[in-house]
Chain A
Amino acid sequence: MGDPATAAGATGRPAWVDTFRIQLLALAGALLFAAVVGGIIIASFGENPLTVYRVLWTFSTSRLSDFGKVLEIATPLIYSALAVAVAFKAGMFNIGVEGQYFVAMVTASAVALALEVPAVIHLPLVVLAAVIGGVVWAAIPAILKVKTGAHEVVTTIMMNGIAVSLVAWALLHPLRTGRGGLVDLRSDQFPDTALVPSLGSTFGLEEQLPGSVHLTWLFPLALVAALLVWFLLYRTRLGFETRAVGSAPGAAEAGGVSIGATQIKVFVLSGALAGFVGLNHLLGDAGFLGANYETQLGFTGIAVAFLGRNSPFGIVVAAIALGLLNRGEDGLALVTDLPREIVIILEGLLILSVVIAYEITRRIVLRRRQREVRSEEGAIGGASGAPA
C-alpha cells in the first residue's frame, strides 16, 4: 500500500529541518502580510510605507544608545513572556503576570524604602521582595486551581483587578511620600543602594549609553533567565514532568507525576519571573513608585510568548523585535505626520498574523509527519497485517 515515492523522508534530512523551514516560511509570510496591511493603513494617511518602515528600523539601530533603548524595552517583556511560557508548558495560562508584577513593585518598594543597608545586601533583598510578591500573587490562583478546580484564567484576571486597587491603596497610604505637597501620588525616592546599576555606568560607556537609556543589569539577567528556563524545561526531571502535565495530564499521572504539585511549582516559578517585570522601570529608571507606573507589560508578555512560540530563545528574539518597533515610534513622531500610535496597530497586526500563521503551520506539519511516518511504516514492513 505504502508508495515509497511519496516518502518525503527519502532525502535523509532530519524531520525537524523540514519543520523548521515550514515555520520560517510561515513566519516570513505573516511578517509580509502584516507589513502589507500595515502599509495600506500607512498609505491611507498619505505617507510612504517604505519610508515609515525605514525610519522605524534606522531610529532603533543606528546608534548604540538607540539599540540600548530597544533592549531596555525588551527587558521586562522577556521576563513577562518567560513567566507566561513556563506556565503554558504545564498547561496553564498565567493571565495574571500583570497583577503579579504590580504587587511585586509594591513589595519591592516597601523593602527599598524600609532598609538602610549597603547595596550588596539591599538590592538582593529588594529583588527578593519582588519575587516574593509575585510568588504570593501567583500562588493563590495556583492553589485554588489545584484544590478547588477554579480555572486559573478567571482567577488570575480577578487577581489583576485586585492588584490594581492594591497598588492604588499602597500609594495612597503606606508608601505615600510625606514630602512636597500632595500634587504627585508617589513614594519617596529610593536610596541608591536599592537601585540596579545601568550597563553604561558599570562599563564606563556613559557616552554611548547616556543616562536616558535605562539598560541595566536586568537585561543580561533576563538572558540568563531564558537559558535557565530552557535548561529546566528540557534537561531536568521537573521540566520533563511539567511538559508531560501540560500536554497529556492523564499520561503524566499514570507516569507517577503529581499533577497538582507540578502545577503549583510551575505557577510559583512563573510568579517569581513575573516579579522581575516591573523592576527595570522601578529600580533602573524611576527610582520610586509612582501612580503612572507602566502597565500592560503582563499582557504584552503573553503576546511575546506566543510570538516566540513559548520557546525561551524565541521569546528573547520576539521581545527585541517588539522593542525595535516601540523604539521606532519616537522616530515616527519626529519624521512623519503619522500619529505614533500607528506602531501599536502594527504590533497588533503582527501578533495576530503570526499567531494565525503558527496555527496553520502546526496543522500542516502534523499532517506531513503523519503522511511520512505512515508511508514509512508501510514501506518498511509491508503493513503489519499483510499475509505471512
Chain B
Amino acid sequence: MPLLDLGAAFAIGLSYFTIISLTGLGGLFSERSGIVNIGLEGMLIVGTVMGAWGALEWGPIPGLFIGMLAGALFSIVHALATVTFRVDHIVSGVVINIVAFGLARFLSQIFFGSTQSDRVPDLDKLDVPLLSSLPLGLGRAFQRMSWITIVAILITIGALFVLNRTRFGLRLRSAGENPAATLTLGVRVAPLRYAGVAISGALAGFAGAFLAIEVNQLFQEGQTQGLGFIALAALILGNWQPLRLMAGALVFGFAQAIPLRLDDAPVISLLPEQFIRMIPYVVTIIAIAGFVGRVTPPAAAGKAYEGGGRI
C-alpha cells in the first residue's frame, strides 16, 4: 500500500476541499438569504480568469483579491435579476453560468491571447509543523500546503459566528425563512439578499482565484470542471449549515483527489477513475432523496418576495 501516495492524495484533496468549502459557503450565504444560487460555477469561473490575470499583473495576493472582487461584482447581476426584477432564480443562475463561460473565454483572449494563461506566480507554501513530518509518507498531506486552506477554515468559523451571533446573520436568515417577518419588523429584505448574493460571489470568486493561482498556477478554460456544482452538492448535503458543509467538502474534496493519486492502489484500481468522480453526485442524490437523513432548505429560498403585498 503506497502510503506516500495516500499523503499526496490528501494534499490534493485539501486543495479541492478549499475550493468546495469556500464556494459552498458562498452558496450558503446566498441561499440562507433566500436566493437560490446555481450560478456558483459561473462565479467560480470568473474568479479563475480574473484571479490569474491579477496575479500575473500584480502578484498572487492582489490576484486573490481581484478574483474575489470580480466574483462579487459578477454576482450582482444575479441579485439584480432575482431580487430587483424577480426573475426565476434557476433561470437567472443558468444564464449566469452561460455568461460566465463566455466572459471567461472573452477575457482570456484579451488578457492572455489564448484559452490558457502563462504560468501564474503563487504564494509561498507552508509545511505544517509536526503534521508535515508524520511518518509513512502521510506527512506529505501537510507539506507545501497553501495558506489559503487555513484561511478557508477560518472563514468558515467566521461565517458560523456571523450567521448565529450577529445582527446581520439573524436578519439574513430571517430573509431566507420568512421575508414578510423581516419586512414587518422594519428591516428591508432586498439589501439583505443583495448582501447574501454578493458574499456568495466574493467567496466563489476567491475560490476560483485560489484554483487558478495556488492549485494550477495558470488559467485554463474549463479548469473548474463542475466544482461549483459539487460545492452546491456539499451545501445541500451539509443541510445549509457551515460545519456540516465543511465536512461534506472534505469528503468530496478527497473523492476528487483519489483517482488522481491512488489509481494503482488495491480495490481502487479495479474501479475506473470515472466512477470515483461520480461519488459526490451520487451521494447527494441519495441524501436529497431522503435515504440518509433529511435535508431542509431555507423555507423561502427560491421565492420572489413582492414586498408590502400579501402578508
Chain A: residues with CB nearer than 8 A to chain B?
A: 93, 95, 144, 147-151, 153-155, 157-162, 164-166, 168-169, 172-173, 296, 299-300, 302-303, 306, 339, 341-345, 347-348, 351-352, 355-356, 359-360
Q: Which of A95, A158, A164, A347 is the most central at the interface, judged by chain B CB atoms within 10 Å of its CB?
A: A158
Give the residue of B90, B99, B277, B278 whose beta carbon is less than 8 angstroms from that of A352.
B99
B residues 38-81 near A (Cβ < 8 Å) are 38, 77, 81
Bound-complex Cα distance A172 to B105 (A)? 28
In the complex the two chains form, is B90's CB within 8 Å of A157's CB? no
Residues of B contacting A155 in the complex (Cβ-Cβ under 8 angstroms): 285, 288-289
In the complex the two chains form, is B94's CB within 8 Å of A356's CB? no
Residues of A contacting B38 in the complex (Cβ-Cβ under 8 angstroms): 95, 153, 157
User: Who on chain A is nearest to B105 by CB?
Assistant: A341
Residues of A contacting B102 in the complex (Cβ-Cβ under 8 angstroms): 341, 343-345, 347-348
Give the residue of A161, A173, A296, A348 whose beta carbon is less than 8 angstroms from that of B95.
A348
Give the residue of B95, B103, B285 whose beta carbon is less than 8 angstroms from that of A345.
B103
CB distance from A302 to the nearest CB of B (A): 5
B233 contacts A by Cβ under 8 Å: yes
A-B contact count (CB 8 A): 125
B residues 257-311 near A (Cβ < 8 Å) are 272, 274-275, 277-278, 280-282, 284-285, 288-291
Bound-complex Cα distance A342 to B233 (A)? 32
Bound-complex Cα distance A302 to B226 (A)? 18
In the complex the two chains form, is B289's CB within 8 Å of A150's CB? yes
Give the residue of A153, A157, A164, A345 whose beta carbon is less than 8 angstroms from that of B106.
A345
Residues of B contacting A164 in the complex (Cβ-Cβ under 8 angstroms): 226
Bound-complex Cα distance A172 to B275 (A)? 12
B230 contacts A by Cβ under 8 Å: yes
B98 contacts A by Cβ under 8 Å: yes
B229 contacts A by Cβ under 8 Å: yes
Residues of A contacting B272 in the complex (Cβ-Cβ under 8 angstroms): 169, 172-173
Residues of B contacting A359 in the complex (Cβ-Cβ under 8 angstroms): 85-87
Chain B: residues with CB nearer than 8 A to chain A?
A: 36, 38, 77, 81, 85-87, 90-92, 94-95, 97-99, 101-103, 105-106, 109-110, 226, 229-230, 232-233, 236, 272, 274-275, 277-278, 280-282, 284-285, 288-291
Residues of A contacting B90 in the complex (Cβ-Cβ under 8 angstroms): 93, 95, 153
User: Who on chain B is nearest to A141 by CB?
Assistant: B285
CB distance from A344 to the nearest CB of B (A): 3
Give the residue of A150, A158, A302 whose beta carbon is less than 8 angstroms from that of B233.
A158
Q: A341-B109, A345-B102 are in contact. List 11 more A-B contacts (CB 8 A).
A: A95-B38, A144-B289, A155-B285, A157-B229, A158-B282, A161-B229, A162-B278, A169-B274, A296-B101, A341-B105, A351-B98
Residues of A contacting B81 in the complex (Cβ-Cβ under 8 angstroms): 352, 355-356
Q: Could you pull out 5 A-B pairs where Cβ atoms are within 8 angstroms?
A: A93-B90, A150-B290, A160-B229, A341-B109, A351-B99
Residues of A contacting B288 in the complex (Cβ-Cβ under 8 angstroms): 150-151, 154-155
Give the interface SS of chain A, mostly helix, strand, loop or mixed. helix
Bound-complex Cα distance A164 to B222 (A)? 13
In the complex the two chains form, is A342's CB within 8 Å of B86's CB? no
The 3 closest A-B pairs by CB, nearest first: A344-B102, A348-B99, A341-B106
Give the residue of B98, B103, B105, B290 whose beta carbon is less than 8 angstroms from that of A299.
B98
User: Who on chain A is nearest to B297 by CB?
Assistant: A151
In the complex the two chains form, is B285's CB within 8 Å of A144's CB? yes
In the complex the two chains form, is B105's CB within 8 Å of A344's CB? yes
In the complex the two chains form, is A150's CB within 8 Å of B106's CB? no
Residues of A contacting B85 in the complex (Cβ-Cβ under 8 angstroms): 356, 359-360
Residues of B contacting A166 in the complex (Cβ-Cβ under 8 angstroms): 274, 278
Bound-complex Cα distance A251 to B92 (A)? 28
Q: Which of A93, A168, A352 is the most central at the interface, judged by chain B CB atoms within 10 Å of its CB?
A: A352
Known: A169-B275, A356-B85, A359-B85. A162 touches B98 (CB 8 A): no
In the complex the two chains form, is A306's CB within 8 Å of B91's CB? yes
Known: A157-B229, A162-B281. A352 touches B95 (CB 8 A): yes
User: Who on chain A is nearest to B115 by CB?
Assistant: A341
Bound-complex Cα distance A149 to B297 (A)? 13
Known: A348-B95, A355-B91, A356-B87. A154 touches B274 (CB 8 A): no
User: Who on chain B is nearest to A160 by CB?
Assistant: B229
Bound-complex Cα distance A209 to B126 (A)? 61
